[in-house]
Amino acid sequence: MKKMPHIARNPAEAREFLSLHVRTRSSVGLVPTMGFLHEGHLSLVRRAKEENDICVVSIFVNPLQFAPAEDLAAYPRDMERDLELLSAEDVHLVYSPSPGAMYLPDRSTLITENSLSRCLCGAARPGHFDGVCTVVLKLFSVIAPDRAYFGEKDYQQLQVIKRMARDLDLPVEITGCPIIRERDGLALSSRNIYLGEKERAEALVLSRSLDAAEELVRGGETDVTRILDVVRDVISACPSVALEYAEIRGADDLAPLDIMNKRAVCALAARVGRARLIDNRVLERRD
């Protein structure tokens, strides 16, 4: 019989649980999430379980990373179902603070990463990565994980967190995990719940456009403009998918690229109905 995870609702409760359960040489793995869990999240949880003695999952819809016009209030939540899923994975601790337990009304400290977070989603969502970095640093401070697990689905977020951990000498290993997709290619996302049946079918052009980019690179294409033209063509075949950006950048530094002369990432964001979806593919030349 799997046990319900312990639930901590504020930093003191989380620290108390960890002080009782973490022994001198045991390791702690943390999976930060905003809940409404799916197989993508669970793949991170399984990896954290495999590699650590104690597995902590945080569930917190972080107001700081949503702009006023964004979907904070509508963001899907289902704590009961999340806890069932995490109990089946034998997670030890769920850290799920209320917004009030996370942020004091007169808080005045924000963590800013000033380079990698400027482009792509950072350009489209000003302040978003300040919110992400601040909440992740606070989670690290309370849980003190040895390892933390992030999905490559949020590729830029993973790079920004790696940079923050490096720059601030945080004693945590940041592990990126592969994107989990539906059979037909759609990347799993809590926001897919916003999609109607027709929109869901249309959203497939995103992963298809990335397939096309991958295929071109495999075939030896090195001209970034030509690859992006094809990506945009595939997406524009579906007029209800409103592309926000399609870019190819260096896979580690997110610097702009003209020629595929190093490992790169093709990153997309698009609106499909009410949903803002992102997807990406790491592109590597064969030779």
What residues line the site for ligand AMP (CB under 6 A)? 33-34, 40-41, 43-44, 150-151, 153-154, 177, 179-180, 187-190
What pairs with residue 225 in β-bridges? none
157 versus 209: smaller Cβ distance to ligand AMP: 157
Hey, is 281 helix, strand or coil? strand
DSSP H helices, the chain, are 11-21, 39-51, 79-88, 99-102, 120-124, 128-143, 155-167, 197-202, 204-218, 224-236
Question: Do residues 264 and 283 touch, judged by C-beta distance below 8 A?
Answer: yes
Residues 72, 78, 79: CA angle, nearest 5 degrees: 105
Shortest Å distance, C-beta 172 to ligand AMP: 14
- Kind of pairing, strands 275-283 and 264-272? antiparallel
For ligand AMP, give the closer residue by CB, 227 or 268.
268
Query: What residue has token string 């923050």?
Result: 164
Encode 156-189: b = buried (16+ Cβ within 10 Å), e = exposed: bbbbbbbbbbeeeebebebbbbebbeeeeebbbb
Q: How far is the CB of 161 from ligand AMP (least distance, A)?
A: 9
- CB-closest chain residue to ligand AMP: 151
128 is catalytic: no
Compute the least distance from the CB of residue 252 to ligand AMP, in Å.
17
Nearer residue to ligand AMP within complex by CB, 5 or 40 = 40
Contact yes or no for 133/164 (Cβ under 8 A): yes
Q: Of the two residues 224 and 276, which places its CB atom closer to ligand AMP in the complex?
A: 276
Active-site position among 6, 21, 38, 41: 41
Cβ proximity to ligand AMP: between 17 and 155 the closer is: 155
Question: Least distance in Å: CB of 188 to ligand AMP?
Answer: 4
152 close to 179: Cβ distance less than 8 angstroms: yes
- Supply the minimum distance, in Å, between the C-beta of residue 279 and ligand AMP: 9
Structure tokens at 209: 């456009």
CB atoms within 10 A of CB 128: 21
Which residue is listed with tokens 């999240």? Answer: 41
Structure tokens at 245: 């950006």
Min separation Cβ 111 and ligand AMP, Å: 17
Judged by CB, which is closer to ligand AMP: 122, or 260? 122
Give me the active site residues, please.
41
